Amino acid sequence: MGRQTLTPLSKNVSGWYNDVVLQSGLADYGPAKGTMVFRPYGFALWEKVQEVFNKAIKKKGVENAYFPLFIPYSLLEKEADHVEGFSPELALVTIGGGKKLQEKLAVRPTSETIIYSMWKKWYQSWRDFPVLMNQWANIVRWEKRTYLFLRTTEFLWQEGHTAHTTEKEAKEMSLWALEEYRKLYEELFAVPGIVGIKSARERFAGAMETYSVELMMPNGKALQGATSHELGQNFSKAFDFTYQDKDGKSAYPWQTSWGLSTRSLGGLILTHGDDKGLRFPPMIAPIQVVIVPIIGDGDSKVTEYVEKIQDVLLKQDVRVKIDERDCSPGVKFNEWELRGVPLRLEVGPKEIVEKTVTWISREDGERGIFNVEDISDQVKQQLSMIQKQMLKRAHKSLMANTTEVNNYDEFKKKMKNSRGFLRAFWCEDKKCEENIKNETKATTRVRLLNEKKETGKCVYCGKKSSYRWNFALAY
Amino acid sequence: MGRQTLTPLSKNVSGWYNDVVLQSGLADYGPAKGTMVFRPYGFALWEKVQEVFNKAIKKKGVENAYFPLFIPYSLLEKEADHVEGFSPELALVTIGGGKKLQEKLAVRPTSETIIYSMWKKWYQSWRDFPVLMNQWANIVRWEKRTYLFLRTTEFLWQEGHTAHTTEKEAKEMSLWALEEYRKLYEELFAVPGIVGIKSARERFAGAMETYSVELMMPNGKALQGATSHELGQNFSKAFDFTYQDKDGKSAYPWQTSWGLSTRSLGGLILTHGDDKGLRFPPMIAPIQVVIVPIIGDGDSKVTEYVEKIQDVLLKQDVRVKIDERDCSPGVKFNEWELRGVPLRLEVGPKEIVEKTVTWISREDGERGIFNVEDISDQVKQQLSMIQKQMLKRAHKSLMANTTEVNNYDEFKKKMKNSRGFLRAFWCEDKKCEENIKNETKATTRVRLLNEKKETGKCVYCGKKSSYRWNFALAY
């Protein structure tokens, strides 16, 4: 690791991305086309996401469950838009136990159909509602080109599913999930996102309304960070999922679904990287602190000194590692910079005499001295500072990449050059959206939740428009 | 829930098992043949297993990773015994993204082949060893008959995989995993297991040696609780997975793999159940304490009283729930007994006046009084006592179901009637093992790790034998 050349981010984002993911040991390509392997360093990121998000959903009363991987094809077909949206991406099992199957099985591309076919059986009284469930699962959607984390045939995600007796409650639930995603990106990933409503064209297949968190990547392209859907009664009607309300009448529940996938890790990597490699925010970093002894190995005094520091930090739940390998400090520095460890501590003879350590921040290269005496407070303070700095930098970059445009020439020029989010009036006519996409490749990302109603002219056709939308190239 | 009739365990173990799993809301059948749904109450058991086992493996330095679900068929074929063992059970994907695939993909039946094909690429120096990895994943092995938890086409498990530079170290690792499984069963599930070596016939396809934890179910049948394999160099040779040792010479690593699946939950349910339903040991119970107010609803004094108790217990990490539903206490008692909650607290007018609660243990129906003042200490003490009692009962039952037999007539008679573990001398000749299986359906479960070497006669052929083996019918 660390010996290969890293394509500079500033020169080639995609080249840098592939290099850094492979070289830092985050992930690799699997043997079957389109698949990827999450190596321990990469999977640790996902474990942290699971830990944080599980806390949030359990506090809300959402319970984890697990539904089958295989969905009979006929179940998928029950919601017409849904099967139309997903059928081109399916992996199908046609042979099982040595025999050709009578009905082919889809490897789940999402679980609405299988979950709601079970709920229909279990929940029949208003007393059973709301139903709040989540599962952590692997998902398969066929991909021709693999892009580690960002686009793979198999990926991991959580999918939340809920059912309510009122539309209002369902809407609130889907907005709650959206806000949790925004917070997770901001607080854990130090990645600011914008939240809003998708256009009809960009909606989830079968949904009434789709909300999403959209992130801006350093190459000016937008990444859909997570989505939350108001399903209305589309699925409950398709599945004939009814319950008896308080008056004894039969009613269809209102449903939501919402998901965050390992694709998010691609956004994390892209947002913070630099020419030296990864930069992980301390909150999610698998290793937060690396201690590098900078004098010859085998010196028991040094070993004792750094192990004591490690023990103190471990007790305070700091994720710390000592690098005592038999190679030069320079090689180690490069490697830990490549791997994005937020804080490096160096210990040499001077530090031992003075009872200090030298610290270097991965974020901006700043360095300083900590006293060993109160090392854990200082380390924790520094980590918290780095976390804030990273969010601040990312936020600045988001702002710099967001531009209001008021005519189509400007729009086209921007989309060719600096890209980013272009905020433009749109009349909400599908035709204008299609034409813009065909001519510039840009799609409507979202209309911000808190977007002000104004009077403007559609950037494409000039017709009266009420809102600016955020357009961008999709990652 | 709780309204249906429960088949008595004492009359019909299988009938009781199916009833209790469905009625208590642990699980259900999925729409595709052979699949099952883990409902929240059932999945919570698995989440606890994950929490406890993750702690154990991380302490040992094992890191979690995630490898792809789809394995190209040609990879599976690399180890001859392995593919022979698994090919009849495979689910095969033959269509992806609307097109027929050039090479069919197996949905993983286990991950040795895919993991080792990656390791071969990543680890090439003695410095990279030992390699200690684990994944939590879904697994597919085609089943004709579904038995919830115990036998399903898709199940969940953890699979640990390690590679070492010496055979000794690999052996120690696989025995370490075996001991962790034994401890998990005993300490978390209150299920005593016996640990030992499998016969060549019962070994994992591709292994040099298989160890297992075997459990005894109330119907006298044995359940394989978890297995740990010494793979020797079988896989490293088949995959040409080599590394350079300290002297610069090329060598094959020694490997192990070990797994525990959701099948274990079937063992938990069967071991502790009774005619009233489930009985969960407090350590793994999703709900440890249920509080049932036994006076009319809507009484704010009662609500305040029980909520205060709940708060105190929640702060001490006791998993507690108040049942305030609008139905009779009797209905609630039955339901929580069915669902196996270890401790029930009842609050009526008398308790409020005396500042107490009445407690009832699900294990043996014992009841008593706790003072509200130090309720959390008393509850925790009682839960810990119940945990011990449950292990003791299960251990007694294991002992009662273990018999030494010294001739084949006795063996046959026992296997027909009371069953259980029969400890008999066996010459270790495959023919005797086969004949015994054909004539009695009993298989060799294990030779205990600490089995004393003795001089005896094979229970089947009378030839000289050195060890007793534990025989039983397999679940």
User: Vertex B440, ends B435 and B445: CA angle to 5°?
Assistant: 80
From the list A37, A44, A88, which residue is nearest B98 (CB)? A88
pLDDT, tens digit, 9 for 90 and up, residues A89-130: 999 999 999 999 999 999 999 999 999 999 999 999 999 999
Cβ–Cβ under 8 Å, residues A290 and A336? yes
Inspect the interface and report whether the beta carbons of A40 and B64 lie closer than 8 Å: yes
pLDDT value of residue B397: 96
Q: What is the pLDDT of residues A307-361, one digit of tens each?
A: 999 999 999 999 999 998 888 999 999 999 999 999 999 999 999 999 999 999 9
- The minimal CB distance from A138 to the residues B38, B71, B138 is found for B138
CA angle A295, A301, A302 (to 5 degrees): 40
Q: Contacts of residue B31 in chain A, CB cutoff 8 Å?
A: 68, 71-72, 75, 114, 117-118
How many other CB atoms are there within 10 angstroms of residue B135's CB atom? Answer: 21
Could you tell me the domains of chain A? 13-272 (3.30.930.10), 289-381 (3.40.50.800), 402-474 (3.30.110.30)
Q: Hey, of A50, A92, A241, which one would you mutate to test binding to chain B, going by the most B CBs within 10 A of its CB?
A: A92
Per-residue confidence (pLDDT) for residue A118, from 0 to 100: 97
Q: Which residue of A37, A139, A319, A327 is the best one to mutate when testing the B interface, meaning the one whose CB has the most B CBs within 10 A?
A: A37
If DSSP codes are grouped into helix, strand and coil, which group holds residue B472?
A: strand
Per-position DSSP letters for B327-347, written without gaps between them = S-HHHHHHHHHHTT-SEEEEE
Span A363-376, average pLDDT: 96
User: Which DSSP string do the residues of B86-99 spell out, in sequence order?
Assistant: HGGG-EEEEEETTE
- Exposure string (b/e) for A337-370, b if CB count within 10 Å is 16 or more? bbbbbbbbbbbeeebbeeebbbbbbbbeeeeeeb
Chain B residues within an 8 Å CB radius of A239: none
Contact B144 A97 (CB under 8 A): yes
d(CA A359, CA A291): 9
Structure tokens at B239: 């995959």
Per-residue model confidence as pLDDT tens digits over A127-162: 999 999 999 999 999 998 889 999 999 999 999 999
List the structure tokens of A446. 């979202």
Query: How close A323 comes to chain B (CA, Å)?
Result: 13
Q: How far is A321 from chain B (nearest CA, A)?
A: 12
Cβ-based neighbour number of residue B430 at 10 Å: 10
pLDDT in tens, A233-243: 999 999 999 99
* CB atoms B105 and A91 under 8 Å: yes
Across the interface, do B153 and A96 touch by the CB < 8 Å criterion?
A: yes
Q: Tell me, what's the pLDDT at A298?
A: 59
Select the residue from A1, A29, A93 to test the B interface by mutation, using most B Cβ atoms within 10 A: A93
So what's the pLDDT on residue B84?
A: 86
Evaluate if residue A1 carries a pLDDT over 60. no
Do residue B32 and residue A142 have CB atoms under 8 angstroms apart?
Answer: no
Does the model's ipTM exceed the 0.90 cut?
Answer: yes
- Would you call A35 and B70 a contact, using CB atoms and an 8 Å cutoff? yes
Chosen from B29, B64, B70 to mutate, greatest number of chain A CBs within 10 A: B70
- Per-residue pLDDT of chain B (475 residues), as tens digits, is 446 799 999 999 999 999 999 999 999 999 999 999 999 999 999 999 999 999 999 999 999 999 999 999 999 988 888 888 888 999 999 999 999 999 999 999 999 999 999 999 999 999 999 999 999 999 999 998 889 999 999 999 999 999 999 999 999 999 999 999 999 999 999 999 999 999 999 999 889 999 999 999 999 999 999 999 999 999 999 999 999 999 999 999 999 999 999 999 999 999 999 999 999 999 999 999 999 998 765 578 888 999 999 999 999 999 999 998 888 999 999 999 999 999 999 999 999 999 999 999 999 999 999 999 999 999 999 999 999 999 999 999 999 999 999 999 999 999 999 899 999 999 999 999 999 999 999 999 999 999 999 999 999 999 999 999 999 999 9
pLDDT score, position B298: 59
What is residue A37's predicted lDDT score, i.e. its pLDDT?
98
pLDDT exceeds cutoff 90 at A6: yes
Q: Which member of A43, A75, A98 has the closest CB to residue B64?
A: A43
Q: What value does the mean pLDDT take over residues A362-384?
A: 97
**Model pTM score:** 0.96
pLDDT digit string (tens) for A62-82?
999 999 999 999 999 888 888
Q: Tell me which residue in A31, A39, A93 faces B91 most closely, judged by beta carbons.
A: A93
Amino acid A2: pLDDT: 43
Does B97 contact A87 at a Cβ distance shorter than 8 Å?
Answer: no
- Residue A117 has its nearest CB partner, among B31, B71, B95, at B31
Mean pLDDT, chain A, integer: 96
**Is B337 within 8 Å of B276 (Cβ atoms)?**
yes
d(Cα A375, Cα A381) in Å, to the nearest integer?
Answer: 10
For residues A289 and A317, the answer to whether their CB atoms sit within 8 Å is no
- A37 contacts in chain B (CB < 8 Å): 65-68, 118
Q: Give residue A80's pLDDT.
A: 81
How close, in Å, is residue A151 to chain B by CA atoms? 14
State the smallest CA–CA distance between residue A224 and chain B in angstroms.
Answer: 22
- A91/B104 CB distance under 8 A: no
Contact B153 A63 (CB under 8 A): no
